Amino acid sequence: MLSYIARRLLLMPVSLLLVLGIVFLIVRITGDPVEIYLGPEATQEQIDLLRSELQLDRPLWEQFAIFLADVLRGDFGTSIQHKAAALPLVVERLGATVELAAIAFALAIVAGVGLGILAAVRVDRPADFVISSIAVAGQSMPSFWLGILLIQLFALDLGWLPTSGRGTAAQLVLPAVTLATFILPNFVLVTRTAILEIARDPFVMAARARGASEGRILFAHVLPNALNPVISLAGLQVGRLMGGAVVTESIFAWPGVGRLIIASVFQRDLPVVVAAVFIVSLTIVVTNLLVDLAQATVDARIRLG
Amino acid sequence: MIGSTILAAALGLAILGPWLAPHDPIQQNLMIRLRPPFWGERTVQGYWLGTDNYGRDILSRLILGTRFSILVGISAMLIAGAIGSTLGLVAGYFGGRWEQVIMRFADAYQALPDILLAIVIVAVFGGGLFNLVIVLGVSGWSVYVRIVFGLVRSWRERPFIEAAVASGAGDVYIMARHILPQIVPVLVVVSTLQVAHMILAESALSFLGLGLPPPTPTWGNMLAEGRDRLLVAPWIANLSGLFIILVVSGINFFGNGLREYLDPKARNGR
């Protein structure tokens, strides 16, 4: 178990290094930050001065090393728009995003696995047909439109829930549901398939032959074994969840990292964009690690292999 | 069947769009702003699905939007498929260090969601059709790597590959001539489903204002414009949303049908 954890921990910095490398390449090779800082009317001397101040006259790999050293110290530069350090601006909004994403993630897993179990138990009956069809259609649903439909129905027509903002529990409902639907259909379909596959294994027949009740077979024999692909899926979906959070936040004016990123893109506020992308990637990597550990706890083959 | 019908209709709209659209999609007419579709009141003759905030014909904009979505979806899929399949082929065929580097790279890449990469690229380069296709194409490669890698590794061990190696065929020749044809059916299915995925991603980016700039008629742009007028003109957002889900589910149905057709195991029941 310890060597497994160690191996997973080693992969984390590799992921983050890769993300930083890609972002660095895109930002540095193409856009000259000096022009953005100084504007078009700067003189050549001003440009040269700032360029050597920011160490942009060094070779690219040296610049990357400097960039990495800055990142390790938590220094992503100064926001052009807010005139403040970029990282604290992002971290300030991280709570809102994590709150939204965590609730949506839990909702998607609980509802998705629940509906998947229901569909598998009633396989080839009307309930299975309805759940599976909606799940397949849900994979084609643009979730941002679903968010808009929910606003129309529950906020504008019925007036039960607020359209946007953050603070009360009521304001959390629509964004969380919308974000959950980005990944929920996959959980339904994978749970259903996993259960149906495990249920055909001989050991299930053996349990039935020993006279175990159907409920006991499902919960004590089939489900623990079907959990593995579902947890794998959860790991794969973390990235999509965080991507969806950016869209969802902008639909519901949720004051999180996603909205900050979008606003910063329009202002070409690159330090904030880079810091925010890094923080979101860090969130994804940490969550993935937790998912891997959960899987290792459930599945001895991974733990020992 | 339903899938191929919708897909054919969407392709038809994409190709014949400019001739089918009853009006110019960016022609403004402020006299007939925000008129509802044919089932509403105060409709205007000839504008079946109503008009938007600038009096532009929604039907025409939806039809022309099909063209952008299909174009972006297919081109982005081709780029992602070319990059991903090549890397997957190399990783699966050569194994060893190639496999380590490429597959770890694909693993690590999960930490950067498509939409975030797209945001960074748009922040630096700006929006536009070309950038949009590149963004989606480059960010979608890892799906192909995983699938192609798994397939190639299983084919690699077959006797006929060994025979080809023994008869002195080069690596590139074996990959192109013996292995690639085996994985084409799966690639076709994956690519179909990827087009649907790309179209959804494209409309999400346009919706965020990171796609093609207005007044270009894309579904995502229309949804974003409609969102600001939900109270007075809900049809703008809803008709575009409806169009997206129709076309995307059509492609998904088609892809799933294709998978069952190409895979005898799925055809003869589970």
Tens-place pLDDT, residues B81-132 = 999 999 988 888 887 888 888 888 887 777 788 788 888 887 777 777 888 8
pLDDT greater than 60 at residue B270: no
Cα–Cα dist A89/A261, whole Å: 11
Which is it for the CA torsion A230, A231, A235, A238, positive or negative? positive
Q: Which residue has the higher pLDDT, A224 or B16?
A: A224
Question: Are B108 and A265 a contacting pair at CB < 8 A?
Answer: no
Predicted confidence at residue A233, as pLDDT, reads 87
Cα–Cα dist A166/A98, whole Å: 13
Please list every residue in chain A whose beta carbon sits closer than 8 Å to the beta carbon of residue B241: 142, 145, 148-149
CATH of the domain spanning B68-269, picked from 1.10.10.10, 3.40.47.10, 1.10.3720.10, 1.10.1510.10: 1.10.3720.10
Question: Are B107 and A11 a contacting pair at CB < 8 A?
Answer: yes
Question: Are A284 and B244 a contacting pair at CB < 8 A?
Answer: no
Predicted confidence at residue B269, as pLDDT, reads 42
Predicted confidence at residue B38, as pLDDT, reads 65
How far is the CA of B262 from the CAs of A162, A186, B193, B258, B268, in angstroms?
Answer: 48, 23, 14, 6, 11
Predicted confidence at residue A34, as pLDDT, reads 65
Please list every residue in chain A whose beta carbon sits closer than 8 Å to the beta carbon of residue B124: 26-27, 30-31, 270
pLDDT greater than 60 at residue A247: yes
Q: Please report which confidence band the pLDDT of residue B1 belongs to, taking 50, 70 and 90 as the band edges.
A: low
Q: Where are the domains of chain B?
A: 68-269
pLDDT-above-70 percentage for chain A: 91
Arithmetic mean of pLDDT, B40-67: 72
Q: Please report which confidence band the pLDDT of residue A113 belongs to, taking 50, 70 and 90 as the band edges.
A: very high
Predicted confidence at residue B110, as pLDDT, reads 76
Please list every residue in chain B whose beta carbon sits closer than 8 Å to the beta carbon of residue A27: 120, 124
B141-156 and B180-207 helices cross at what angle (nearest 10)? 170
**Tokens at A170, concatenated:** 């009521």
A55-69, A91-105, A233-247, B11-25: which range is least confident on average?
B11-25
pLDDT-above-90 percentage for chain A: 11
- In order, the DSSP letters of A14-35 are HHHHHHHHHHHHIIIIIS-HHH
Amino acid in position A267: Q
Residues belonging to chain B with any Cβ–Cβ distance to chain A shorter than 8 Å = 104-105, 107-117, 119-125, 196, 200, 203-204, 207-210, 223, 226-227, 230-231, 234, 237-238, 240-241, 244-245, 248-249, 252, 256, 270
Arithmetic mean of pLDDT, A157-180: 82
A241 contacts A184 by C-beta, under 8 angstroms: no
ipTM above 0.95, yes or no: no
Arithmetic mean of pLDDT, A214-223: 83
Q: Which of A12-26, A55-69, A159-173, A177-191 has the highest average model confidence (pLDDT)?
A: A177-191
Please list every residue in chain B whose beta carbon sits closer than 8 Å to the beta carbon of residue A149: 238, 241
Helix (H, G, I), strand (E, B) or coil at B21: coil
For B123, the closest of A136, A270, A281 (CB atoms) is A270
Q: Please report which confidence band the pLDDT of residue A45 belongs to, taking 50, 70 and 90 as the band edges.
A: confident
Cα–Cα dist A183/A240, whole Å: 7
Question: Are B237 and A142 a contacting pair at CB < 8 A?
Answer: no
Predicted confidence at residue B33, as pLDDT, reads 65
Q: Which residue of chain B has the CA closest to A288?
A: B111
Mean of the per-residue pLDDT values for chain A? Answer: 83
Full-model pTM: 0.83
Please list every residue in chain B whose beta carbon sits closer than 8 Å to the beta carbon of residue A265: 119, 122-123, 210
Arithmetic mean of pLDDT, A251-266: 88
Question: Are B116 and A277 a contacting pair at CB < 8 A?
Answer: yes
> How many C-beta atoms surround the C-beta of residue B99 within 10 A?
16
pLDDT greater than 90 at residue A109: yes
Closest of B58, B63, B34 to residue B46, by C-alpha: B58
A27: left (phi over 0), alpha (psi -120 to 50) or beta: alpha
Question: Are A246 and B112 a contacting pair at CB < 8 A?
Answer: no
Please list every residue in chain A whose beta carbon sits closer than 8 Å to the beta carbon of residue B109: 18
Arithmetic mean of pLDDT, A182-207: 87
Please list every residue in chain B whose beta carbon sits closer than 8 Å to the beta carbon of residue A123: none
Arithmetic mean of pLDDT, A246-260: 89
Arithmetic mean of pLDDT, A168-191: 88
**Tokens at A197, concatenated:** 């596959």
pLDDT greater than 70 at residue A29: no
One-letter-per-residue 3-state SS of B218-239? CHHHHHHHHHCCCCCCHHHHHH
Cα–Cα dist A150/A252, whole Å: 11
Q: Which of A170-174, A298-302, B187-191 has the highest average model confidence (pLDDT)?
A: B187-191
